[in-house]
Chain A
Amino acid sequence: MIPPVGHRRGTLGAIAHWAALVVATVLFLLPFFVLLRDGLAAGWSTVADLFTDMEIPFARSLLNSTVVASLQTAGQLLLCSLAGYGLARIPYRHAPKILYAVVATLMVPTAVTFVPSFVVVSSLGWLSDLRGLVVPGLFSALNVFLFRQYFLDFPVSLEEAGRLDGLSRWGVFWRVVVPNSTAFFAAIAVIDFIGSWNQFLWPLIIAQDSSTWTVQVALSSLLTAQNPKITLLFAGAAVSILPIVLVFVLAQRYLVRGVTETGLQG
């Protein structure tokens, strides 16, 4: 956090620096401004119209998005933290191979898996179903990787103290490691929630019945319609990002810390 020493900069440099920051700020905030301006162009009643308009089931889609994002986040936190810890701490003979198999999937593009995944999910009978939307996304190799990196850096001494007290590895995980890692879990939770809320391709092909549409699918349908109702669309978009922006602004600090703590630059 210390500004670099010996970095002399004239007033001209400082002005240029600030000007650049201001211009960039305007550019970055412009879309949000446009969203609000065009959404409310016809007045606040547009927001009320959103929930009564028959074109898309907006309220339902918001609910679906909330449920899916919450379940996915919780599920990912549980499954991926367990797996990450296991891969970080348990001296299993085949662990390196398993780790490799997990990380290798990071290289596999969605293009390869989305069609056969669709087939798997439809064979399970999970089309247009909450399970089809939530479950396939639970197994995030990236999350496991991040958790593993984090747990590798976790102070072993704390864990050893737990073991000396007679806890099993399972106990150490739940009673020692997790309670001391809430900030990191929070960071991952925010990233996962945002990712799940904003997901598009998967819900597009799985949620065929409009009662299972997530808010992204609903908005996309309106956008690609023959004659899109612009104000409705913008109002809907503004409403859809409101919860995320709120969560983001509040939890941003954790997010930044979480991202930097994963040692991605290593």
Chain B
Amino acid sequence: MGVERSRRSFLVVAGLLGLAACGSNTGREGSAAGTLRHWYHAYGEDGVQEAVRRYAAAYPDADVEVQWNPGDYDSKIVTALQNSAVPDVFEAQIKVDWVRNKQVVPLDDLLGDAKDDFVATLLESQTVDGKLYGIPQAIDTQVLFYRPSLLAAAGVTPPTTVDGLLDAAKRLNTGGVRGLFAGNDGGVGVLTAPLLWSAGLDFLSEDGTAPGFDDPRAATVFAKFRELHTGGGLLLGAPTDWADPGAFVDGKAAMQWTGLWNLPKITEAHGDDVGVLPFPALDGDGAESVPVGAYSAMVNARGADTDAAKAYVKWLWVEKTDYQTEFATAFGAHLPARASLAEKAASLRDGPGKDIVGFVADGGRIASPARWSATANTALSDAVSRIAREGADPVGELRAAVDVARAEIARLGR
């Protein structure tokens, strides 16, 4: 009796120990020695996934496995960067916290001569404490698309002020067509920054040492945003969200705030009946604007082989200009991140595309600054959501957000 029992118990204990011993302390290594894991978020356009897999397969010096991530990509990246060796390479926009937590690897040495070819403001946006952490892949922007025919029918001129936009949205609201679509959250996610810029404000002050929206004009402009919500002109509850041109293409909204990348689908649907506008200014003290950003290729500091990862990033995003051009121009419309490739974008040579290039040059603003932390962004975004969707008091809500932003700036400044 003793033998049988002790043998069984030994097996159980041994099994458990074996399980524990199988693990290692430094996080999981790549599935096979030398495999690089490359994460992308799920692009809406067809063909992108096949293309990036093709690029990965073409890399001669290592096996690269591409993971496509639908859903909340930003959260996934943050979770992964916590303590995981996966992914090795990924696309994102840099945040100071990642640098401070030593989660990403500096990539200055990858650029070499090509440095001057990249758009300077974008390189700057991915630079923290003097070091570059991401190689821009393709420039994205968002604009207001509208149907000139519908505007003409309603007797509305294309809006050049915020008040004009509010008026247009209201007047274009007829029958089954709403005035404006900016997302199922009523535009809180994508219009917060343009609204700040329209009032001459920003997330952070010029030198980055204070919140940039600590100003009564912030309350004014967000009160206008509330008016947009109560005016009845906003489309809510569309089957797809702002990043997809569905609402505009299907004629559910006369205007839609969406990305440049949708230009081909939009012109295919409405031909010449397409106009574009930047986000208008509040008044003379503000300015028109379009948000600009670029997903940039980064290397996970906890990856199994950061040198191999860096070599891959250099090969794909610095050397292979043909891939970079295809990535930026063949699927949806993006602006190439490099000046020398800019003229290759066919859809941006005339019509709305050309206008948009102009908007970027004149009023392009960085949409996701490195020093604007996630916590501060959540606080401001929550505040704007409450103001616009629940009718909360702008002054009180913004003051709370300013406090959080100030605390975050202080924390990052240390």
A–B direct contact (CB < 8 Å): yes
Chain A interface residues toward B at CB < 8 A: 54-56, 118-119, 122-129, 131, 135, 166, 168, 170-171, 205, 208-211, 220-228, 230
Pairwise interchain contact B25-A123, C-beta atoms closer than 8 A: yes
Q: Pick the contact of A122: B8, B67, B76, B82 (CB < 8 A).
A: B82
CA distance A41 to B404 in the complex (A): 48
Q: Could you tell me if A222 and B70 are in contact, using CB atoms closer than 8 angstroms?
A: yes
Contact A171 B1 (CB under 8 A): yes
Contact, CB under 8 Å: B243 / A126: no
Cα(A128)–Cα(B31), bound, Å = 10
Separation of A120 and B19 alpha carbons in the complex (Å): 14
Given contacts A125-B25, A125-B26, contact A225 B71 (CB under 8 A): yes
Q: Do A210 and B71 touch (CB < 8 A)? A: no
Q: Is the CB of A127 within 8 A of B84?
A: yes
Contact assessment for A210 and B69 in the assembled complex, using a CB-CB cutoff below 8 Å? yes
Shortest beta-carbon distance from A61 to chain B in Å: 13
Task: With both chains docked as a complex, state the minimum distance between the C-beta of B20 and any C-beta of chain A, in angstroms.
Answer: 7
What are 15 contact pairs spanning A and B, CB under 8 A? A55-B49, A55-B68, A123-B25, A124-B23, A124-B25, A126-B23, A135-B19, A171-B1, A205-B79, A208-B76, A208-B84, A221-B71, A223-B71, A224-B71, A227-B44
Interchain residue pairs A-B with the least CB separation, the first 10: A225-B70, A124-B23, A125-B23, A224-B71, A221-B71, A122-B83, A125-B24, A227-B244, A221-B70, A227-B240
With contact pairs A124-B23, A131-B19, A227-B241 given, residues A55 and B70 touching in the complex (Cβ less than 8 Å): yes
Chain A residues near B68 (CB-CB < 8 A)? 54-56, 210
Q: How far is the CA of A133 from the CA of B382 in the complex (A)?
A: 33
Which residues in window 236-292 of B have CB below 8 A to A?
A: 239-241, 243-244, 246
Q: Which residues of A contact B67 (CB under 8 A)?
A: 209-210
Q: Do A221 and B83 contact each other (CB < 8 Å), given the known contacts A129-B28, A227-B240? A: no
Q: For B395, what are the chain A residues with a Cβ–Cβ distance below 8 Å?
A: none
B49 touches A208 (CB 8 A): no
Complex interface residues of chain B between 46 and 74 (CB less than 8 A to chain A): 49-50, 67-72
- The answer to whether A125 touches B27, judged by C-beta atoms less than 8 angstroms apart, is yes
Whether the pair B84, A227 counts as a contact (CB closer than 8 A) is no
Q: Considering the chains assembled together, what is the distance between the CA atoms of A11 and B76 in angstroms? A: 59
Which one of A54, A55, A127, A131 has the highest number of Cβ atoms from chain B below 10 Å of its Cβ? A127
- Measured between beta carbons, the chain A residues less than 8 angstroms from B19 are 131, 135
- Which residues of chain B in 81-105 are interfacial with respect to chain A, using CB atoms and an 8 Å cutoff? 82-84, 86
The residue from B49, B80, B84, B244 contacting A54, defined by CB atoms under 8 A apart: B49
Give bound CA distance, A135 to B18, whole Å: 13
Given contacts A56-B70, A205-B79, 15 further A-B contacts (CB under 8 A): A54-B49, A54-B68, A124-B23, A124-B25, A125-B26, A125-B28, A127-B28, A135-B19, A170-B4, A171-B1, A220-B71, A225-B71, A226-B70, A226-B240, A230-B239
Residues of A within 8 A of B69 (CB): 210, 221
Chain B contact residues, CB within 8 Å of chain A: 1, 4-5, 8, 19-20, 22-28, 31, 37, 42, 44, 49-50, 67-72, 76, 79-80, 82-84, 86, 239-241, 243-244, 246
Which residues of B are found within 8 Å of A171, using beta-carbon distances?
A: 1
A122 contact set on B, CB distance < 8 A: 27, 82-84
**Inter-chain contacts of A126 with B (CB < 8 A):** 23, 28
Which of B8, B27, B71 has the largest count of A CB atoms less than 10 A from its CB?
B71
A197–B55 Cα distance when bound, in Å, is 36
- Cβ distance B154 to chain A, nearest Cβ, rounded Å: 29
Chain A neighbourhood of B79, CB < 8 A: 205, 208
B258 to chain A, nearest CB (A): 11
Select which of B4, B5, B44, B83 is within 8 A of A226 by beta carbon. B44
Give chain B residues whose Cβ lies under 8 Å from the Cβ of A55: 42, 49, 68, 70
Asked whether A131 lies within 8 Å of B246 as measured between CB atoms, the reply is no
Q: Are A124 and B20 in contact (CB under 8 A)?
A: yes
- Please give, as numbers and ranges, the residues of chain B lying within 8 Å of A131 by CB-CB distance: 19, 22-23
Roughly how many angstroms separate A56 CA and B49 CA in the complex, as a whole number?
A: 11
Q: Which residues of B contact A205 (CB under 8 A)?
A: 79
What is the minimal beta-carbon distance from A85 to any residue of chain B, in angstroms? 14
Chain B, Cβ-Cβ closest to A122 = B83
Contact between A208 and B86, CB atoms less than 8 A apart: yes
In the complex the two chains form, what is the Cα distance from A220 to B69 in whole Å? 11
* Smallest CB separation, B49 vs chain A (Å): 6
CA distance A123 to B68 in the complex (A): 26
- Which of chain A's residues has its CB closest to B26's CB? A125
Considering the complex, give the chain B residue whose CB is closest to the CB of A135: B19
Which residue of chain B is the closest to A82 with respect to CB atoms?
A: B12
B37 with A209: CB separation less than 8 A: yes
Contact yes or no, A209 B246, CB < 8 A: no
